[in-house]
Amino acid sequence: MKHNFGAGPCILPQEVFKKAAAAVIDFNGLSILEVSHRSADFVAVMEEARENVKKALNVPAGYTVLFLQGGASLGFLITAYNMMGKHKRAGYINTGTWATNAIKEAKGIGLDVVEIASSQDKGFSYIPKGFEIPEDIDFLHFTSNNTIAGTQFKDFPKTNVPLVCDMSSDIFSKEINVADFDIIYAGAQKNLGPAGATLYIVKDEILGKSTAEHIPSYLDLAIHAKKDSMFNTPPVYSVFVANLNLQHMLENGGVQAIAKENQAKAELIYKTIDENPLFEGTTAVEDRSEMNVTFRLTDESLTDKFNAAWNAAGIVGLKGHRSVGGFRASMYNALPLSSVEVLVDVMNNFNK
Ligand SMILES: *Cc1c(COP(=O)(O)O)cnc(C)c1O
């Protein structure tokens, strides 16, 4: 078996892969790939998946869970449309590529975007702090984990302004207080399931309150909520496998247990990066991501040799994003500590 450090689509537990494979052949006498999304069997899966998200994240009453399509990239537009309020102005914290893309979509539908803070001056290598949040904005949008740069908010912004968060790459990695947010959204393929579904956790109060002149039906969360996430054909297989993963998560200590594992994995690799003179981290130490660990060789002429070493150890997906360079070890929930140990061994042996 290879060790998958890829940034997404992500590794999932082997048990989930086995059950997912079995259902392609037989899901109550049909293949899961051919089953009607209106069948009682699949409606039950959709309802269970929505419930399991609530269980895993302790979602309070007054929130609706939806599985839609379009990825987080369509989420940039969906959140902007649905959160547009009386100010027609929104605050965005710019912490990297994905936040930049979110800003672009918000501007595109006529929102007056205030860039509250940005870490662009240092290549998005840190999380901005100490910024002021104006009151006359409809919402504040931020990206909890920056998949490409390798930074992560350790504390979420404190404000009375409604919060919207792209949690694509760290949702279910640790406990969160859902009540602090009006919308949380996440592409499934980083920590939840296969690509295809996008998760939305939406405060019911905001549904149908947009001041946008017209919202295309598919982008209107109120329509999806009214139809119980079945406005049109949902991404059946992606939801099915995400639910298997949620079941697996809940049977194994839930998000609390996962958070401990993730901390142990992150501690091990960052310790290695800090102690081994051949490597250096690329982000501010206090903002280091537990999910996406970015680092580089102190001597870049060793790149080919290091590539050969981790390839030989069965590691895949370690190459850094083209905009950052270096290396990126993505350590999503299902990546075992033993895989991180293999990588750390490669790094330490490389030093010898
Ligand atoms: C991957 C990613 C995206 C883009 O997700 P798609 O589902 O491919 O549109 C957006 N935001 C973050 C934080 C990501 O990690």
Summarised one tens digit per residue, pLDDT across range 15-46 is: 999 999 999 999 999 999 999 999 999 999 99
The rounded percent of the chain whose pLDDT value lies above 90 is 98
Residues 28, 148, single domain; the answer is yes
Kindly state the tokens that stand for 281: 């981290």
Q: How far apart are CA 299 and CA 277, in angstroms?
A: 10
Residue at which a domain ends, from 251, 270, 301: 251
Tell me what pLDDT residue 350 has.
Answer: 92
The CATH number given to whatever domain includes residue 318 is: 3.90.1150.10
Report the nearest-CA residue for atom 10 of ligand 1.
72
Residue at which a domain ends, from 251, 268, 295: 251
Would you say the CB of residue 326 lies under 6 angstroms from ligand 1? no
Residues 153, 267, single domain; the answer is no
Residues 89, 173, single domain; the answer is yes
232 is in an annotated binding site: yes
- Under the banding of pLDDT at 50, 70 and 90, the label for residue 177 is very high
Residues 164, 36, single domain; the answer is yes
CA 348 from centroid of its chain's CA atoms: 30
Tell me what pLDDT residue 323 has.
Answer: 86
pLDDT at 343 over 90: yes
The rounded percent of the chain whose pLDDT value lies above 70 is 100
Parent domain of 153 = 14-251
- Under the banding of pLDDT at 50, 70 and 90, the label for residue 143 is very high
Residues 178, 325, single domain; the answer is no
Residues 195, 227, single domain; the answer is yes
The string of pLDDT tens digits covering residues 271-291 is 999 999 999 999 999 999 999
Residues 62, 178, single domain; the answer is yes
Residue 9 covered by a domain? no
Please give the number of the atom of ligand 1 that sits closest to the Cα of 75. Answer: 9
User: 127, 284 in Cβ contact below 8 A?
Assistant: yes
Give how many domains the chain has, as a whole number.
Answer: 2
Task: Please tell me the pTM assigned to this model.
Answer: 0.98
Residue 186 covered by a domain? yes
The string of pLDDT tens digits covering residues 181-235 is 999 999 999 999 999 999 999 999 999 999 999 999 999 999 999 999 999 999 9
Please give the number of the atom of ligand 1 that sits closest to the Cα of 8. Answer: 1
Expressed in angstroms and rounded, the spacing between residue 71 Cα and the centre of ligand 1 is: 7
Residue 3 covered by a domain? no
pLDDT at 301 over 90: yes
pLDDT at 322 over 90: no
The string of pLDDT tens digits covering residues 49-97 is 999 999 999 999 999 999 999 999 999 999 999 999 999 999 999 999 9
User: 290, 331 in Cβ contact below 8 A?
Assistant: yes
User: 241, 199 in Cβ contact below 8 A?
Assistant: no
Tell me what pLDDT residue 352 has.
Answer: 78
> Residue 176 contacts by C-beta under 8 Å, 6 or more apart in sequence?
57, 167, 184
Residues 241, 259, single domain; the answer is no
Please give the number of the atom of ligand 1 that sits closest to the Cα of 198. Answer: 7
Residues 162, 82, single domain; the answer is yes
- Under the banding of pLDDT at 50, 70 and 90, the label for residue 159 is very high
Would you say the CB of residue 52 lies under 6 angstroms from ligand 1? no
Tell me what pLDDT residue 164 has.
Answer: 99
Would you say the CB of residue 72 lies under 6 angstroms from ligand 1? yes
Would you say the CB of residue 169 lies under 6 angstroms from ligand 1? yes
Expressed in angstroms and rounded, the spacing between residue 228 Cα and the centre of ligand 1 is: 24
- Under the banding of pLDDT at 50, 70 and 90, the label for residue 13 is very high
73 is in an annotated binding site: yes
Residues 199, 90, single domain; the answer is yes
Tell me what pLDDT residue 108 has.
Answer: 98
> Residue 275 contacts by C-beta under 8 Å, 6 or more apart in sequence?
none
Tell me what pLDDT residue 324 has.
Answer: 86
Tell me what pLDDT residue 73 has.
Answer: 98
Residues 187, 277, single domain; the answer is no
User: 69, 198 in Cβ contact below 8 A?
Assistant: yes
User: What average pLDDT does the chain have?
Assistant: 97
Tell me what pLDDT residue 351 has.
Answer: 79
Residue 344 covered by a domain? yes
Residues 271, 196, single domain; the answer is no
- Under the banding of pLDDT at 50, 70 and 90, the label for residue 335 is very high
- Give the CA dihedral 229, 230, 236, 238, nearest 10 degrees: -20
Expressed in angstroms and rounded, the spacing between residue 75 Cα and the centre of ligand 1 is: 9
Residue 2 covered by a domain? no
Q: How far apart are CA 206 and CA 85, in angstroms?
A: 10
User: 320, 294 in Cβ contact below 8 A?
Assistant: yes
Residue 61 covered by a domain? yes
